[in-house]
Amino acid sequence: MGFTGLLEPFLTSVKRIGIASTLSDPGHIQRTAFGTGSEATFDPNFLAAAITVHLESGGVSIVLGDDVGLVNRMIDTLALFLQDGGRHP
């Protein structure tokens, strides 16, 4: 099973625990590390560590980088894991 096959069960689990209402916006997923064609944007181990630390810190993360596009993609990815009240439009 490839990455795409794992995405649907993952999103179902995320919805079940009550986060990521932005998942109803298909365009938002495309702007994340989970978007089609974005699978190789971040090293999987780095992405897993970033998401883990983001969750452990209660959704408080600082994202730094030289590439604005990559920084925004990481921010959009981490925003998937915020409670609705922590997300800004």
- Which tens digits make up the pLDDT trace of 15-67? 665 554 555 566 778 888 888 887 778 988 899 999 999 999 988 899 999 99
pTM exceeds 0.85, yes or no: no
Domain that holds residue 71: 3-86
When pLDDT is averaged across residues 79-85 and rounded to a whole number, the result is: 75
Cβ-contact 84, 21 below 8 angstroms = yes
Q: How many CB atoms lie within 10 A of CB 80?
A: 22
Q: What is the domain count for the chain?
A: 1
Higher pLDDT, 29 or 83: 29
Q: What CA–CA distances, in Å, run from 9 to 31, 62, 67?
A: 19, 28, 31
73's tokens: 């993609």
Has residue 84 got a pLDDT over 80? no
Q: What is the pLDDT of residue 66?
A: 96
Has residue 85 got a pLDDT over 60? no
CA count, 13 A, side-chain hemisphere, 5 = 2
Q: What CA–CA distances, in Å, run from 38 to 23, 32, 77, 83?
A: 16, 7, 11, 24
